[in-house]
Amino acid sequence: GDADHETALATGRPKTGPELLRYRDALADDPNRPRFHPTPPANWLNDPNGLIHHDGTYHLFYQYNPGGPYHHTVHWGHAVSDDLVHWRDRPVAMTPDPSGPDRDGCWSGCAVAVDGDVYALYTGGRDGWQRPCLARATDDDLTAFEQVDDNPVIDAPPPALDLLSTPGEPAHFRDHCLVREDGRWHHLIGAGLQDYGGVVVSYTGTDLTEWTYAGPTLVADEAEPGVVWECPELLRYPDGDLLHVSDYSHVRYFIGEFDADESRFVPDSRGTLDPGAFYAPQSLTTPDGREVMIGWLREERSVSSQWEAGWAGAMSLPREVAVIDGDIRQRPVREVERLRRERLHEGTLTLDDAARRLPVEGTALECRLRVDPTDATEVGLVLRASPDGPESTSVRIRPDRVVVDRTESSVDPAAHADDVAVDVADLSRPFDIRTFLDGSVLELFVNDRRALSTRIYPTRADATGVGLYAGPGGATIDLDIWRLG
Ligand code: FRU
């Protein structure tokens, strides 16, 4: 209710730098807490927001509830980096305005620089309403954003569309992507159509406050009633344009052409960016012209486990995303090599058809395998294994798919225990597979093309072992392992 809400905003929720660091320190012993994937200092994190390289610094804002490890009255948390892989906490950058259209939350949005000033365009939540709002950074370090006076900058969703809403509730209409072309902004917003499914709508404008509705930019191919497309983003490449949306479960991408005159996207192909826990990503352009994407890695355990842990949510590694020859490429940014500490294994191993434990331990590791599974032989990498069971996670490498088998990852019944698989049938072999383990985060990349991120929650302190196995006929594996820090 209103009184609770006012109290929540007024009580001392951790928002300043020193407070955030105290909270972060208090959680330092949690072995499932990632070390090099950005996490909230404590409490709740969801989508990345306002990714931007500004004045020599990378800025990552994110959906943050300073009040607890659950989604409520989100603020914009803030972290900065010089190299995309070492992040530092900054004070909370945007706080809901108790009398504004964002009083129930500063939801997801993007950031752009205009004549040296940085602006955030985001969704203000109030009493269930979702309205586009604008805020301006108070300094070059983007320490805080101040809401403009004439919010919301769009005061109602397009009346021409019958947008999805729960009976008696305002329509779903949220999340923002700005693309500038020929002096004009294209402003993409996510929504759903009543009784149909996902849609991306567009507005155009020349400043950031006056917007003209330009029509639906992309509509789902098939009916999927109840689905809202969240967090649309349009990335333009010399070889083709990429539009992605988050459909409540995964990130769906479309490769094709954005017709700027008509504000329409015409897709040629489509797919899922990552079959795992990766959601609501955003991208920035580096000074050397790479499009780098970061996504929210959702928790895959129960709400009560999140309360016990005191934190929820992590960011993915930054991945470079490109469209080449009509196909999508995803690989970790080269800067992740700066996280490498000692090399724990190097060289070629010949395995017979047995499992082998390696003399390597760790919860923050990069394992790089070059391996050619044959139709008869599966090859596997085992991580976070406790010495005599019962916990271990197997990355099962087969000719057509790479599967993360989580059936024994954790004895905690609240941890998700299903398999997550990525299709690699069309990739050339031998496969070059890079896996990044970081506490409860496991991300893997195959041939710099396919990505899979997932979450595991071992309970045993000694679940730090690493192993390999091969099926009948054995296998030869090139393996490098680094401890990451
Ligand atoms: C996606 C999302 C967005 C929304 C934000 C609220 O995870 O639901 O659509 O703006 O999170 O935190």
Q: Residue 6 has what pLDDT?
A: 47
- Calculate how far, in angstroms, residue 44's C-alpha sits from the geometric centre of ligand 1: 13
Question: If you take atom 6 of ligand 1, which residue's CA is the nearest one?
Answer: 107
Instruction: Answer whether 273 contacts ligand 1 (Cβ < 6 A).
Output: no
Same domain, 359 and 324: no
At which of 270, 303, 332 does a domain end? 332
Q: Residue 150 has what pLDDT?
A: 94
Q: Residue 5 has what pLDDT?
A: 46
> What type of residue sits at position 157?
P
Over residues 100-151, the pLDDT tens digits come to: 999 999 999 999 999 999 999 999 999 999 999 999 999 999 999 999 999 9
Same domain, 151 and 118: yes
Instruction: Answer whether 47 contacts ligand 1 (Cβ < 6 A).
Output: yes
Residues 6+ positions from 269 with CB-CB distance below 8 Å: 254, 255, 256, 326
Residue 135 contacts residue 94 (beta carbons within 8 Å): yes
Q: Residue 8 has what pLDDT?
A: 44
- Calculate how far, in angstroms, residue 36's C-alpha sits from the geometric centre of ligand 1: 24
Instruction: Answer whether 102 contacts ligand 1 (Cβ < 6 A).
Output: no
- Calculate how far, in angstroms, residue 128's C-alpha sits from the geometric centre of ligand 1: 13
> Which of 43, 75, 107 best tests ligand 1's pocket when mutated (most atoms within 8 Å of CB)?
107
Give CA–CA dist 424/419, Å, rounded. 16
> Which of 74, 230, 251, 282 best tests ligand 1's pocket when mutated (most atoms within 8 Å of CB)?
230
- Is residue 47 flagged as an active site residue? yes
Same domain, 191 and 247: yes
Instruction: Answer whether 46 contacts ligand 1 (Cβ < 6 A).
Output: yes
Ligand 1 atom nearest to 109, measured from its CA: 10
Which stretches of the chain drop beneath a pLDDT of 50?
Answer: 1-2, 5-11
Same domain, 327 and 344: no
Q: Residue 159 has what pLDDT?
A: 87
Question: What's the CATH code of the domain at 29?
Answer: 2.115.10.20
Residue 417 contacts residue 407 (beta carbons within 8 Å): yes
Same domain, 309 and 373: no
- The bridge status of strand 311-312 relative to strand 43-54 is parallel
Same domain, 231 and 314: yes
Instruction: Answer whether 65 contacts ligand 1 (Cβ < 6 A).
Output: no
Of 155, 154, 133, the residue nearest 145 (C-alpha) = 133
At which of 296, 316, 332 does a domain end? 332
- Calculate how far, in angstroms, residue 107's C-alpha sits from the geometric centre of ligand 1: 6
Instruction: Answer whether 73 contacts ligand 1 (Cβ < 6 A).
Output: no
Question: If you take atom 9 of ligand 1, which residue's CA is the nearest one?
Answer: 230
Residue 465 contacts residue 387 (beta carbons within 8 Å): yes
- Calculate how far, in angstroms, residue 230's C-alpha sits from the geometric centre of ligand 1: 7
Give CA–CA dist 470/485, Å, rounded. 29
Over residues 212-267, the pLDDT tens digits come to: 999 999 999 999 999 999 999 999 999 899 999 999 999 999 999 999 999 999 99
Instruction: Answer whether 49 contacts ligand 1 (Cβ < 6 A).
Output: no
Same domain, 305 and 385: no
What ipTM was assigned to the predicted interfaces of this complex? 0.99
Same domain, 311 and 403: no
Give CA–CA dist 246/256, Å, rounded. 18
Catalytic residue among 2, 25, 47, 247: 47
Same domain, 26 and 168: yes
Compute the CA torsion angle 247, 251, 255, 260 (nearest 10 deg): 60
- Calculate how far, in angstroms, residue 47's C-alpha sits from the geometric centre of ligand 1: 7
- Count of domains in the chain? 2
Instruction: Answer whether 108 contacts ligand 1 (Cβ < 6 A).
Output: yes
Question: What's the CATH code of the domain at 374?
Answer: 2.60.120.560
- Calculate how far, in angstroms, residue 231's C-alpha sits from the geometric centre of ligand 1: 7
DSSP 196-259: TEEEEEEEEESSSS--EEEEEEEE-SS--TT---EEEEEEEETTEEEEEEE-SSSEEEEEEEEE
Please provide the distance, in angstroms rounded to a whole number, between the alpha carbons at the two ends of the chain: 44
Instruction: Answer whether 320 contacts ligand 1 (Cβ < 6 A).
Output: no
> Which of 44, 46, 76, 164 best tests ligand 1's pocket when mutated (most atoms within 8 Å of CB)?
46
Instruction: Answer whether 231 contacts ligand 1 (Cβ < 6 A).
Output: yes
Q: Residue 186 has what pLDDT?
A: 98
Ligand 1 atom nearest to 123, measured from its CA: 10
Q: Residue 432, Cβ neighbours under 10 Å: how many? A: 18
Ligand 1 atom nearest to 130, measured from its CA: 10
Same domain, 370 and 321: no
Instruction: Answer whether 97 contacts ligand 1 (Cβ < 6 A).
Output: no
Residue 295 contacts residue 274 (beta carbons within 8 Å): yes
SS3 call for 18? helix
At which of 275, 298, 332 does a domain end? 332
Same domain, 268 and 200: yes
Instruction: Answer whether 228 contacts ligand 1 (Cβ < 6 A).
Output: no
Q: What share of the chain is helix, strand, coil (3-state, %, to 5)?
A: 5, 55, 40
Range of the domain at 362: 340-484
Same domain, 344 and 306: no
- Calculate how far, in angstroms, residue 61's C-alpha sits from the geometric centre of ligand 1: 13
Give CA–CA dist 206/195, Å, rounded. 34
Question: If you take atom 8 of ligand 1, which residue's CA is the nearest one?
Answer: 230
DSSP 38-62: ---SSEEEEEEEEEEEETTEEEEEE
